[in-house]
């Protein structure tokens, strides 16, 4: 099984965390995003959206990180990251969709403006964009923090795919200057995510 990824991509990291936790071996293929390798015809055949991660398994090609996480979990007998019970699975799905729709837009803006642009010398930080990213992220963080006030993990009997999906991008909170410092419940929960073996095992390699 092969995963096209980039070490700085938290969209790829949530998939790596899932694979590491489940004990699934992946052949990692790094796509050089800084050099535009995602726009080459051979990669566009795999993912016309020019994005990582992409999974290849026995000739089946799958893009979109949340779909890949679900696929890996469903391949693994006895796993608990993605429960089979209808309501428990719907609860995990709720947070996966919420992550894509409500959390990632702010994270993507702040990561791009505060971390990626300066690191790769892609022009000055746009203060209007930073303010928009901070507004989006603060709104999402309030929901997350309130939910975690009386919950150890996002869904009962965690960790689940929900914790990996949202925990992975929060790994960039320092470099991306995410306005999350005051959210104590969120920070306590993220400390638990960072204590998982899958966190260490999915660290971006230099």
Ligand X SMILES: N[C@@H](CCC(=O)N[C@@H](CS)C(=O)NCC(=O)O)C(=O)O
Q: Which residues of this chain interact with ligand X, rule CB under 6 A? A: 9, 11, 33, 38, 50-53, 64-65
Which helix H or strand E contains 29, and what residues bound it? strand 27-30
73 neighbors 82 (Cβ within 8 angstroms): yes
State which residue, 86 or 205, has the beta carbon closest to ligand X: 205
Complex with ligand X: residue 30 or 185, whichever CB lies closer: 30
**Tokens 């702040």 found at:** 110
Which residues on adjacent β-strands are paired with residue 27?
Answer: 2
What are residue 91's phi and psi, to 5 degrees? -65, -45
- In the bound complex, what is the minimum distance in angstroms from residue 42's beta carbon to ligand X? 15
Classify residue 39 by its DSSP letter: G
**Minimum distance from CB of 159 to ligand X (Å)?**
19
Nearer to ligand X, 52 or 81 (CB): 52
Give the chain's end-to-end CA distance (angstroms, integer). Answer: 23
Residue (24 or 37) nearer to ligand X, CB = 37
Q: How far is the CB of 181 from ligand X (least distance, A)?
A: 23
Give rounded-to-5 percent helix, strand, coil for the chain: 60, 10, 35
Supply the minimum distance, in Å, between the C-beta of residue 184 and ligand X: 28
């Amino acid at each position: 099984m092969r995963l096209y990824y980039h070490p700085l991509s938290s969209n790829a990291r949530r998939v790596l965390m899932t694979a590491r936790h489940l004990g699934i071996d992946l052949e990692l293929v790094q796509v050089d995003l800084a050099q535009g390798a995602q726009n080459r015809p051979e990669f566009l055949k795999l993912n016309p959206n020019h994005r990582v991660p992409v999974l290849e398994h026995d000739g089946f090609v799958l893009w979109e990180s949340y779909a890949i996480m679900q696929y890996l979990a469903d391949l693994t007998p006895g796993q608990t990251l993605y429960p089979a019970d209808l309501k428990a699975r719907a609860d995990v799905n709720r947070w996966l969709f919420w992550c894509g729709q409500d959390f990632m837009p702010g994270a993507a803006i702040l990561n791009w403006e505060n971390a990626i642009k300066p690191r790769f010398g892609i022009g000055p930080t746009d203060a209007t964009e930073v303010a928009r990213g901070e507004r989006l992220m603060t709104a999402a963080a309030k929901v997350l923090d309130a939910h975690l006030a009386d919950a150890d993990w996002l869904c009962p009997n965690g960790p689940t795919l929900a914790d990996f999906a949202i925990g992975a991008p929060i790994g960039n909170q320092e470099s991306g200057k995410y306005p999350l410092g005051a959210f104590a419940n969120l920070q306590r929960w993220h400390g638990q995510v960072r204590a998982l073996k899958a966190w260490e095992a999915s660290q971006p390699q230099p």
